[in-house]
Amino acid sequence: MDRIPILRMGRLLLVTIQIDLYDRLATNLETDLVQMVNKTEAKGVLIDISALSIVDSFMGRILGNIGSMSKIMDAETVVVGMQPAVAITLIELGLELKGVHTALNVEKGMELLKEKIGNYDEDLTEDDEDSTE
Amino acid sequence: MKIVLNKDRMLIEREQDVILFRNRVKEYAVKIGMSLVNQTKLITAASELVRNMLKYANGGMVLIEVLSQGRDSGIRLVFTDKGPGIKDIALAMKDGYSTGKSLGIGLPGTKRLVNEFDIKSTVGEGTTVSIIKWKNG
Protein backbone atom coordinates (compact mmCIF):
# COMPACT_ATOMS: atom_id res chain seq x y z
CA MET A 1 0.00 0.00 0.00
CA ASP A 2 1.16 3.55 -0.69
CA ARG A 3 2.59 5.40 2.26
CA ILE A 4 4.16 8.79 2.88
CA PRO A 5 7.63 8.27 4.37
CA ILE A 6 8.31 9.70 7.83
CA LEU A 7 11.94 10.52 8.56
CA ARG A 8 13.35 10.64 12.05
CA MET A 9 15.97 13.21 12.92
CA GLY A 10 16.94 13.22 16.58
CA ARG A 11 13.76 14.07 18.42
CA LEU A 12 12.03 15.40 15.34
CA LEU A 13 9.94 13.69 12.72
CA LEU A 14 10.05 15.04 9.18
CA VAL A 15 7.38 14.51 6.56
CA THR A 16 7.55 15.89 3.04
CA ILE A 17 4.31 15.56 1.14
CA GLN A 18 5.30 15.52 -2.51
CA ILE A 19 2.15 14.31 -4.19
CA ASP A 20 -1.50 15.26 -3.98
CA LEU A 21 -2.93 12.95 -1.37
CA TYR A 22 -6.08 10.99 -1.85
CA ASP A 23 -8.11 10.39 1.27
CA ARG A 24 -6.81 7.00 2.33
CA LEU A 25 -3.21 8.16 2.00
CA ALA A 26 -3.91 11.20 4.16
CA THR A 27 -5.65 9.25 6.93
CA ASN A 28 -2.82 6.70 6.85
CA LEU A 29 -0.32 9.49 7.33
CA GLU A 30 -2.31 10.73 10.31
CA THR A 31 -2.23 7.37 12.12
CA ASP A 32 1.36 6.58 11.08
CA LEU A 33 2.58 9.91 12.43
CA VAL A 34 0.88 9.59 15.78
CA GLN A 35 2.24 6.07 16.16
CA MET A 36 5.71 7.25 15.22
CA VAL A 37 5.52 10.04 17.81
CA ASN A 38 4.73 7.41 20.40
CA LYS A 39 7.39 4.95 19.25
CA THR A 40 10.25 7.40 18.84
CA GLU A 41 9.27 9.74 21.68
CA ALA A 42 9.53 12.60 19.22
CA LYS A 43 9.06 16.11 20.56
CA GLY A 44 8.41 17.77 17.26
CA VAL A 45 6.80 17.06 13.90
CA LEU A 46 7.63 19.06 10.78
CA ILE A 47 5.38 18.71 7.75
CA ASP A 48 6.50 20.23 4.46
CA ILE A 49 3.57 20.95 2.14
CA SER A 50 5.45 23.08 -0.40
CA ALA A 51 4.60 20.62 -3.18
CA LEU A 52 0.87 20.67 -2.44
CA SER A 53 -1.04 22.76 -4.96
CA ILE A 54 -4.34 22.24 -3.14
CA VAL A 55 -5.34 22.07 0.51
CA ASP A 56 -9.08 21.50 0.79
CA SER A 57 -11.13 21.19 3.97
CA PHE A 58 -10.36 17.48 4.21
CA MET A 59 -6.60 17.97 3.99
CA GLY A 60 -6.87 20.93 6.35
CA ARG A 61 -8.68 18.76 8.86
CA ILE A 62 -6.00 16.07 8.59
CA LEU A 63 -3.27 18.65 9.27
CA GLY A 64 -5.25 20.02 12.21
CA ASN A 65 -5.81 16.52 13.57
CA ILE A 66 -2.12 15.68 13.34
CA GLY A 67 -1.39 18.87 15.30
CA SER A 68 -3.92 18.15 18.05
CA MET A 69 -3.05 14.45 18.33
CA SER A 70 0.67 15.17 18.52
CA LYS A 71 -0.02 17.84 21.13
CA ILE A 72 -1.71 15.27 23.34
CA MET A 73 1.35 13.07 22.83
CA ASP A 74 3.54 16.01 23.93
CA ALA A 75 4.92 16.88 20.51
CA GLU A 76 4.67 20.18 18.63
CA THR A 77 3.69 20.30 14.96
CA VAL A 78 4.89 22.82 12.40
CA VAL A 79 3.51 22.99 8.87
CA VAL A 80 5.94 24.66 6.47
CA GLY A 81 6.16 25.81 2.87
CA MET A 82 2.54 26.66 2.12
CA GLN A 83 2.15 28.24 -1.30
CA PRO A 84 0.65 31.76 -1.27
CA ALA A 85 -2.27 30.75 -3.49
CA VAL A 86 -3.06 27.91 -1.07
CA ALA A 87 -3.00 30.29 1.90
CA ILE A 88 -5.39 32.72 0.14
CA THR A 89 -7.75 29.88 -0.74
CA LEU A 90 -7.68 28.35 2.75
CA ILE A 91 -8.70 31.56 4.47
CA GLU A 92 -11.45 32.31 1.96
CA LEU A 93 -12.71 28.77 2.38
CA GLY A 94 -12.86 29.41 6.13
CA LEU A 95 -10.09 27.13 7.35
CA GLU A 96 -7.67 28.62 9.82
CA LEU A 97 -5.49 25.58 10.56
CA LYS A 98 -5.89 25.88 14.30
CA GLY A 99 -3.67 23.71 16.45
CA VAL A 100 -0.67 23.69 14.17
CA HIS A 101 2.19 26.15 14.02
CA THR A 102 3.25 27.36 10.61
CA ALA A 103 6.54 28.62 9.21
CA LEU A 104 7.60 29.93 5.83
CA ASN A 105 10.10 27.22 4.99
CA VAL A 106 11.82 24.14 6.41
CA GLU A 107 14.69 26.14 7.88
CA LYS A 108 12.40 28.55 9.77
CA GLY A 109 10.22 25.63 10.79
CA MET A 110 13.18 23.83 12.34
CA GLU A 111 14.13 26.99 14.24
CA LEU A 112 10.59 27.34 15.54
CA LEU A 113 10.49 23.71 16.65
CA LYS A 114 13.82 24.01 18.44
CA GLU A 115 12.52 27.09 20.22
CA LYS A 116 9.31 25.31 21.21
CA ILE A 117 10.85 22.14 22.53
CA GLY A 118 14.05 23.63 23.96
CA ASN A 119 17.47 22.71 22.77
CA TYR A 120 16.85 19.10 22.03
CA ASP A 121 20.44 18.37 20.99
CA GLU A 122 21.66 19.12 24.50
CA ASP A 123 18.93 17.03 26.03
CA LEU A 124 19.86 14.19 23.76
CA THR A 125 23.56 14.20 24.69
CA GLU A 126 22.69 14.45 28.37
CA ASP A 127 20.47 11.42 28.03
CA ASP A 128 23.26 9.56 26.30
CA GLU A 129 25.68 10.37 29.10
CA ASP A 130 23.18 9.19 31.66
CA SER A 131 22.78 5.89 29.95
CA THR A 132 26.50 5.23 29.64
CA GLU A 133 27.18 5.97 33.30
CA MET B 1 -24.36 35.75 -23.04
CA LYS B 2 -22.45 32.66 -22.06
CA ILE B 3 -21.13 30.60 -24.94
CA VAL B 4 -19.92 27.07 -24.31
CA LEU B 5 -16.66 26.48 -26.18
CA ASN B 6 -15.78 23.04 -24.96
CA LYS B 7 -17.46 20.20 -23.09
CA ASP B 8 -16.00 17.31 -21.18
CA ARG B 9 -17.54 14.72 -18.89
CA MET B 10 -16.01 12.75 -16.08
CA LEU B 11 -17.44 9.96 -13.98
CA ILE B 12 -16.54 10.00 -10.29
CA GLU B 13 -16.75 6.64 -8.58
CA ARG B 14 -13.77 6.22 -6.27
CA GLU B 15 -11.76 8.53 -4.03
CA GLN B 16 -8.77 8.16 -6.37
CA ASP B 17 -10.86 9.86 -9.07
CA VAL B 18 -10.69 13.07 -7.02
CA ILE B 19 -7.02 13.58 -7.95
CA LEU B 20 -7.60 12.74 -11.63
CA PHE B 21 -10.54 15.11 -11.71
CA ARG B 22 -8.58 17.93 -10.08
CA ASN B 23 -5.80 17.48 -12.63
CA ARG B 24 -8.33 17.61 -15.47
CA VAL B 25 -9.84 20.84 -14.13
CA LYS B 26 -6.36 22.29 -13.76
CA GLU B 27 -5.56 21.46 -17.40
CA TYR B 28 -8.57 23.45 -18.59
CA ALA B 29 -7.85 26.33 -16.21
CA VAL B 30 -4.27 26.55 -17.47
CA LYS B 31 -5.45 26.34 -21.07
CA ILE B 32 -7.62 29.47 -20.75
CA GLY B 33 -4.84 31.28 -18.91
CA MET B 34 -6.43 31.53 -15.47
CA SER B 35 -4.18 33.03 -12.78
CA LEU B 36 -2.65 30.70 -10.22
CA VAL B 37 -4.75 32.06 -7.35
CA ASN B 38 -7.99 31.64 -9.31
CA GLN B 39 -6.89 28.18 -10.44
CA THR B 40 -6.25 27.19 -6.84
CA LYS B 41 -9.64 28.55 -5.75
CA LEU B 42 -11.46 26.73 -8.55
CA ILE B 43 -9.69 23.43 -7.94
CA THR B 44 -10.23 23.65 -4.19
CA ALA B 45 -13.93 24.35 -4.74
CA ALA B 46 -14.10 21.45 -7.19
CA SER B 47 -12.36 19.21 -4.70
CA GLU B 48 -14.86 20.07 -1.95
CA LEU B 49 -17.86 19.38 -4.18
CA VAL B 50 -16.53 16.17 -5.63
CA ARG B 51 -15.74 14.93 -2.14
CA ASN B 52 -19.30 15.73 -1.03
CA MET B 53 -20.59 13.81 -4.01
CA LEU B 54 -18.54 10.74 -3.08
CA LYS B 55 -19.40 10.96 0.59
CA TYR B 56 -23.14 11.49 0.40
CA ALA B 57 -24.06 9.98 -2.96
CA ASN B 58 -21.30 7.44 -3.65
CA GLY B 59 -20.17 9.40 -6.67
CA GLY B 60 -21.72 10.94 -9.73
CA MET B 61 -21.00 12.80 -12.93
CA VAL B 62 -19.16 16.07 -13.52
CA LEU B 63 -19.51 18.19 -16.60
CA ILE B 64 -16.57 20.47 -17.35
CA GLU B 65 -17.29 23.38 -19.69
CA VAL B 66 -15.10 26.15 -21.04
CA LEU B 67 -17.23 29.31 -21.25
CA SER B 68 -16.88 32.59 -23.02
CA GLN B 69 -18.76 35.74 -22.07
CA GLY B 70 -17.80 38.93 -23.85
CA ARG B 71 -14.07 39.29 -23.37
CA ASP B 72 -13.90 37.02 -20.36
CA SER B 73 -13.56 33.29 -20.37
CA GLY B 74 -14.13 30.87 -17.57
CA ILE B 75 -14.87 27.36 -16.47
CA ARG B 76 -18.20 25.89 -15.44
CA LEU B 77 -18.38 22.67 -13.47
CA VAL B 78 -21.69 20.88 -13.02
CA PHE B 79 -21.81 18.13 -10.41
CA THR B 80 -24.74 15.76 -10.71
CA ASP B 81 -25.46 12.90 -8.35
CA LYS B 82 -28.31 10.53 -7.66
CA GLY B 83 -27.85 10.62 -3.91
CA PRO B 84 -30.34 11.20 -1.10
CA GLY B 85 -30.64 14.91 -1.85
CA ILE B 86 -30.52 17.83 0.58
CA LYS B 87 -33.62 18.52 2.66
CA ASP B 88 -32.86 22.07 3.66
CA ILE B 89 -30.49 23.82 1.27
CA ALA B 90 -30.51 27.07 3.25
CA LEU B 91 -29.29 25.15 6.29
CA ALA B 92 -26.67 23.25 4.29
CA MET B 93 -25.33 26.57 3.01
CA LYS B 94 -24.78 27.83 6.56
CA ASP B 95 -21.25 27.99 7.94
CA GLY B 96 -20.58 25.32 10.52
CA TYR B 97 -23.48 23.05 9.62
CA SER B 98 -22.82 19.44 8.68
CA THR B 99 -24.74 16.19 8.81
CA GLY B 100 -21.51 14.25 8.32
CA LYS B 101 -18.52 14.36 10.61
CA SER B 102 -16.89 17.29 8.87
CA LEU B 103 -16.22 20.93 9.61
CA GLY B 104 -19.32 22.10 7.80
CA ILE B 105 -17.47 24.63 5.70
CA GLY B 106 -17.71 22.72 2.42
CA LEU B 107 -20.71 24.31 0.71
CA PRO B 108 -20.55 27.88 2.07
CA GLY B 109 -16.76 27.87 1.73
CA THR B 110 -17.01 26.65 -1.84
CA LYS B 111 -19.46 29.41 -2.67
CA ARG B 112 -16.96 32.02 -1.48
CA LEU B 113 -14.27 30.61 -3.77
CA VAL B 114 -16.18 30.89 -7.05
CA ASN B 115 -18.03 33.61 -9.00
CA GLU B 116 -21.31 31.82 -9.53
CA PHE B 117 -22.80 29.07 -7.43
CA ASP B 118 -26.09 27.30 -7.96
CA ILE B 119 -27.51 24.33 -6.11
CA LYS B 120 -30.65 22.32 -6.79
CA SER B 121 -31.72 19.28 -4.88
CA THR B 122 -34.69 16.98 -4.63
CA VAL B 123 -34.91 14.61 -1.70
CA GLY B 124 -34.69 11.04 -2.92
CA GLU B 125 -33.59 12.01 -6.42
CA GLY B 126 -30.28 13.76 -6.13
CA THR B 127 -28.38 17.02 -6.15
CA THR B 128 -26.95 19.23 -8.88
CA VAL B 129 -24.37 21.88 -8.07
CA SER B 130 -23.11 24.25 -10.73
CA ILE B 131 -20.16 26.62 -10.27
CA ILE B 132 -18.46 29.13 -12.55
CA LYS B 133 -15.04 30.67 -12.10
CA TRP B 134 -14.12 33.46 -14.52
CA LYS B 135 -10.55 33.84 -15.64
CA ASN B 136 -10.40 37.38 -14.30
CA GLY B 137 -13.07 37.00 -11.65
Whether A82 maps to a domain, the answer reads: yes
Whether A79 maps to a domain, the answer reads: yes
Residue A84's CB is within 10 A of a number of other CB atoms, namely 10
> What whole-number distance in Å separates Cα of residue B31 and Cα of residue B97?
36
Q: Considering only residues 54 to 93 of chain B, which have any Cβ-Cβ distance to chain A shorter than 8 Å?
A: none
What residues in A contact B48, CB-CB < 8 Å?
A: 56-57, 93
Whether A83 maps to a domain, the answer reads: yes
**Bridge-partner residues for A119, per DSSP?**
none
- Provide the 8-state DSSP code for A133: -
Whether A110 maps to a domain, the answer reads: yes
For the cut 80, the answer to whether the pLDDT of residue A127 exceeds it is no
Q: Could you read off the pLDDT of A47-86 as tens digits, one per residue?
A: 999 999 999 988 998 999 999 999 999 999 999 999 999 9
CA contacts within 13 A on the Cβ side of B120: 5
CATH number assigned to the domain comprising residue A95: 3.30.750.24
pLDDT given for residue B87 in this prediction: 86
Whether A94 maps to a domain, the answer reads: yes
Our count of domains for chain A comes to 1
pLDDT given for residue A77 in this prediction: 96
Write the CB contacts of B118 (distance below 8 Å, at least 6 apart in sequence): B129, B130, B131
pTM: 0.87
- Provide the 8-state DSSP code for A93: H
Whether A1 maps to a domain, the answer reads: no
Torsion of CA A59, A65, A70, A71, to 10 degrees: 130
For the cut 90, the answer to whether the pLDDT of residue A118 exceeds it is no
pLDDT given for residue B90 in this prediction: 84
Q: Residue A90: give the domain boundaries.
A: 6-132
Whether A119 maps to a domain, the answer reads: yes
> What whole-number distance in Å separates Cα of residue A99 and Cα of residue A63?
9
> What whole-number distance in Å separates Cα of residue B81 and Cα of residue B129?
9
Pairing of strands B72-81, B60-69: antiparallel
User: Rounded mean pLDDT of A98-126?
Assistant: 81
Question: Model ipTM?
Answer: 0.86
Residue (of B86, B85, B84, B10) closest to B50 by Cα position: B10
A-interface mutation test, from B13, B40, B48, B52, most A Cβ less than 10 A away: B40
Domains (range + CATH), chain B: 3-134 (3.30.565.10)
Confidence of residue A119 (pLDDT cuts 50, 70, 90): low
For the cut 60, the answer to whether the pLDDT of residue A131 exceeds it is no
pLDDT given for residue B100 in this prediction: 62
pLDDT given for residue A8 in this prediction: 94
- Provide the 8-state DSSP code for A21: P
pLDDT given for residue B104 in this prediction: 60
- Provide the 8-state DSSP code for A81: -
Q: What residues in chain B have per-residue pLDDT under 70?
A: 97-105
Interface check A56 vs B, CB under 8 A: yes
Sheet holding A44-48, edge to edge: A6-9, A12-16, A44-48, A76-80, A101-103
pLDDT given for residue B44 in this prediction: 95
